[in-house]
């Protein structure tokens, strides 16, 4: 059995404030025995616009936010999924939304750049176009860890089941999902989508969300979840606001479920983990 945690935040545009809040929540999760801690999307900075996000971007391997994640991993001797942080890319006017996995020694051992960007119209008064300021990634990432094989995704990715099947085909046992769902889409779809991805692939899903009203006026849904491979909720943080939820993952139980219903062996339509074209 391994204890894991999802951290929920209501991040602001102030990086120092957010890192201080994250440090307290990481410490709380560690005290509860968590060995893997997942932070939400935009945990370190919820910018008011694309320009602010660009001002806070870091070069991969160096920067305040990455140093923070490394230090926290070492301090608490835990694995941390660093939500997303704005990472420099070829287009100086944009960033990559990078989710980084740090090991217990404070080393970054995996990086996933958000592939699917949230360009949507929610209502007459609410719309988003992430592609204006974010460059999409193109690499599917499954990381080998002592906790299990971790498949990495971010928020809007949850609506694209082929991504998760690719990760399952590559051996993923735990799917991590830093998120910042809107209230409208969260109320309608957050739980059913996380449970569906767990059931389809017989994987644990750790969904760490933003929850509350942010300085840019955006309101996020919260309701962070940890889902069992059979689809039941192991833990849920009901509502908005900061907090931590923990649950125990049982690899023997996962193996038994996969043996009883061997969907991997029955699969007839295959998705290749290397099938995405670089843009």
- Choose the catalytic residue: 114, 173, 203, 246: 114
Report residue 21: phi and psi, to 5°: -65, -45
pTM: predicted TM-score of the whole model, two decimal places: 0.95
Q: Assess if residue 271 is contained within a domain.
A: no
Is-contact 112 99, C-beta < 8 A? Answer: yes
- Which regions of the chain are under pLDDT 50? 277-279
Q: Assess if residue 34 is contained within a domain.
A: yes
Whether 246 is catalytic: no
Which tokens hold the place of 2? 């391994």
- Choose the catalytic residue: 155, 166, 203, 246: 155
Q: Assess if residue 278 is contained within a domain.
A: no
- 10 Å CB burial of residue 27 (0-12, 13-18, 19+) is middle
Whether 114 is catalytic: yes
Q: In terms of Cα–Cα distance, which of 239, 236, 225 is closest to 193? A: 225
- Residue 108: the pLDDT is 98
> How many C-beta neighbours within 10 Å does residue 38 have?
30
- Residue 31: the pLDDT is 98
Q: Assess if residue 274 is contained within a domain.
A: no
Q: Assess if residue 177 is contained within a domain.
A: yes
Q: Assess if residue 197 is contained within a domain.
A: yes
Q: Assess if residue 272 is contained within a domain.
A: no
CATH number of the domain residue 227 falls in: 3.60.110.10
Question: How do residues 216-274 score in pLDDT, each as one tens digit?
Answer: 888 999 999 999 999 999 999 998 899 999 999 999 999 999 999 999 999 998 876 66
Which tokens hold the place of 228? 């069992």
CB neighbour list of residue 125: distance below 8 Å, 6 or more residues apart: none
Q: Assess if residue 194 is contained within a domain.
A: yes
- Residue 124: the pLDDT is 81
- Residue 273: the pLDDT is 66
Domain around 241: 2-266
SS3 category, 137: coil
SS3 category, 122: strand
- Residue 51: the pLDDT is 73
- What string of H, E and C letters represents the secondary structure of 74-106? HHHCCEEECCCEEEECCCCCCEEEEEEEECCCC
Q: Number of structural domains, the chain?
A: 1
């Amino acid at each position: 059995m391994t204890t894991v945690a999802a951290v929920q935040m209501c991040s602001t545009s102030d990086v120092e404030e957010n890192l201080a809040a994250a440090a307290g929540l990481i410490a709380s999760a560690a005290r509860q025995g968590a060995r893997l801690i997942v932070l939400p999307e935009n945990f370190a900075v919820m910018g008011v616009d694309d320009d602010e996000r660009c001002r806070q971007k870091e070069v991969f391997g160096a920067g305040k936010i990455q140093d923070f994640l490394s230090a926290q991993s070492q301090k608490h001797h835990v694995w941390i999924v660093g939500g997303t942080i704005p990472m420099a890319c070829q287009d100086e006017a944009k960033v990559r939304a990078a989710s980084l996995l740090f090991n217990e020694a404070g080393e970054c051992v995996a990086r996933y750049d958000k592939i699917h960007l949230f360009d949507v119209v929610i209502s007459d008064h609410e719309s988003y176009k992430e592609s204006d300021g974010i460059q999409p990634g193109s690499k599917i990432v499954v990381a080998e860890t002592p906790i299990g094989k971790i498949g990495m995704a971010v928020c809007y990715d949850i609506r694209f089941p082929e991504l998760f099947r690719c990760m399952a085909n590559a051996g993923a046992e735990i799917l991590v999902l830093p998120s910042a769902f809107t209230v409208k889409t969260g109320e309608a779809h957050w739980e059913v989508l996380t449970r569906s991805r767990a059931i389809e692939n017989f994987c644990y899903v750790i969904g760490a969300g933003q929850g509350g009203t942010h300085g840019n006026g955006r309101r996020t849904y919260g309701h962070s979840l940890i889902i069992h491979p059979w689809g039941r909720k192991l833990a849920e943080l009901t509502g908005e606001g900061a907090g931590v939820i923990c649950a125990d993952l049982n690899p023997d139980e996962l193996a038994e479920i996969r043996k009883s219903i061997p969907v991997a062996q029955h699969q007839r339509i295959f998705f290749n983990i290397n099938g995405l074209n670089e843009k």
